[in-house]
Chains A and B, each alone.
Chain A
């Protein structure tokens, strides 16, 4: 696939590598895993969320959350080609802008978006009242403009697509929000982890794997939760790593608490979006 000549794009050299930087000097080397200083462990980074920026779409949203920037637009419900379906069909496509990831994600070579699209669709289906839209399709497109880790993309993607669907005036059961929590090597639970914190976790897990260190030290892991906070429901759980059951339950609770905060931001931005269009007040 990668070797096939792509006539639809301006040709690029077959092989190019991202710049390799000189090694860090000893003095400025990373001092290993360090504690969070700028915010509390259960504090998420601020979110910027705005609806209705894409005038061509029925509904749209734009989110900036940590190192992630995503634009999302919703088209529909629009008529769907046969065969007849008694329920609406949800089509969701995640696309990375080539410059959104480090290293550059060349078109066609990337398979990451497919995985993300599937997970997002699963998390969103319970949120939308698809039985209200027979013979129709709802098309949701997400464009990632900047990304750090896939889990952050997923959680922000879920939040922004809920905002866009609501902005399109499509009936929903509740607003879906995503949140990520991580248990670090000290057993502390970090909400909304940064890229560096996740990398620290991974390198630690590798080190443990090599030194047959099963069971020693505290387990570490990462958990992504998709939730409908207003209904108190969970739509998606995705966990990686190795943690005790009690710890995992604690992580889920922390993640749900965090998703309630996100829900507040989401509801607020929808309200603002509606007011800007002059449809606030009543309803």
Chain B
């Protein structure tokens, strides 16, 4: 599947291949060289014909698939593919003592990792800037929309609470990691089952049942949509890893079930030629509403 995608992006069978470089005996090879040397022009020629370099239409999103429950060492897990971008989310629950300030609150610890495995641009070692940024965005999103209220994670007040570790790992990085990560987290949270736990006052230990399990009590489920603006002219949804470095402006919009905003972020100069930033943001919002509705359906289907 990856191989066919790669073939599509280089040869671009569905897109009218622009004849980029001057006459050359090997047009396929010269297109590849042109793509590397003049990425911006390469992209702009595709966009002017109404297509993206990976073969989709200008305003199209990539296909999404969700698989849940495949990691048996986790309490809940999911695998999300958004085009070639692949994210695995695993949720592990552990037990800890709550803090003295908040005896009735558990912990939610979300982290996104972009390991060296997933792209040639990342180095091995501790999380890089991009991974840290996404982890913070994800944490903000989960806290502000109370997706997993800490108060629902209490086993015994002041004594024992659940710690929910949400770990997202990218396996294949082809852009728009944040949208894929949010979707993976939500699918994994829905898939999570915790054992019934009882705190024993005498031994000061928490014992879990082997047979009784229950799902997490989830609040609102926000989903995210990201865009990039190219050359102050094109609003591009779901940018790929090839396009991302060429997009000085990025917009992320996360909406809950009632289309209320949970997170809106614009980085860079807003607006396109002839349109104000406000109007472009509004446009993006409308597109996001439609897309998030689709994502929600895929999410529902996956959890059956």
Contact = CB atoms under 8 A, between A and B. Distances in A.
**Chains A and B come from one and the same complex:** yes
Interface of A: 6, 8-13, 15-22, 24, 52-57, 67, 69, 71-73, 75, 78, 93, 95, 97-104, 107, 139, 141-143, 145-147, 273, 276-278
B88 A145 contact: yes
Contact of A18 (B4, B72, B94): B94
A160 to B, nearest CB: 12
B250 interface: no
B23 interface: no
A39 B24 CA distance: 60
Q: Which 3 A-B pairs have the closest CB atoms?
A: A99-B90, A16-B96, A141-B117
Given A17-B95, A73-B118, A141-B124, A97 B90 contact: yes
Contacts of B169: 97, 143, 145
B111 A13 contact: no
A99 B74 contact: yes
A98 B210 contact: no
Interface residues of B, number: 60
Nearest to B2: A55
Most buried by B among A18, A102, A143: A143
A104 B120 contact: no
A278 to B, nearest CB: 8
Interface stretch (B45-53, B132-140, B224-232, B251-259): B132-140
B6 A55 contact: yes
Interface in B105-140: 107, 109-111, 113, 115-120, 124, 126-127, 132, 135-136, 139
A22 B209 contact: yes
Nearest to A71: B171
A247 to B, nearest CB: 33
A15 B161 CA distance: 12
A52 B207 CA distance: 44
B197 interface: yes
A200 to B, nearest CB: 20
B90 A98 contact: yes
Contacts of B118: 54, 56, 73
Contacts of B139: 10
A54 B171 contact: yes
Contact of A10 (B6, B117, B136, B195): B136
A16 B164 CA distance: 10
Contacts of A12: 107, 109, 163, 165
A54 B174 CA distance: 10
B90 A56 contact: no
B73 A100 contact: yes
B92 A98 contact: yes
Contacts of B207: 20-22
Contact of B172 (A9, A17, A53): A53
Contacts of B86: 53-54
A4 to B, nearest CB: 12
Contact of A95 (B70, B93, B117, B195): B117
Contacts of B91: 99
A56 B6 CA distance: 9
A18 B163 CA distance: 9
A142 B124 CA distance: 11
A247 B244 CA distance: 59
Contacts of B163: 12-13, 16
A24 B91 CA distance: 25
A221 B165 CA distance: 36
Interface in B215-266: 241
A143 B118 CA distance: 10
Most buried by B among A71, A78, A103, A139: A71
A147 B72 CA distance: 9
Contacts of A16: 94-96, 107, 163
Given A10-B109, A54-B171, A143-B115, 20 more contacts: A17-B94, A19-B195, A19-B197, A19-B208, A20-B208, A21-B207, A22-B209, A52-B2, A53-B2, A54-B172, A55-B172, A57-B120, A78-B120, A95-B115, A95-B124, A98-B90, A98-B111, A99-B73, A99-B165, A145-B169
A9 B74 contact: no
Interface string B264-301: 00000000000000000000000000000000000000
Nearest to B171: A71
B86 to A, nearest CB: 8
Contact of A9 (B92, B124, B135): B135
Given A8-B126, A13-B107, A16-B95, A100 B90 contact: yes
A2 to B, nearest CB: 14
B125 to A, nearest CB: 9
Interface string B67-111: 000111110010000001010101111111101000000010111
B71 A146 contact: yes
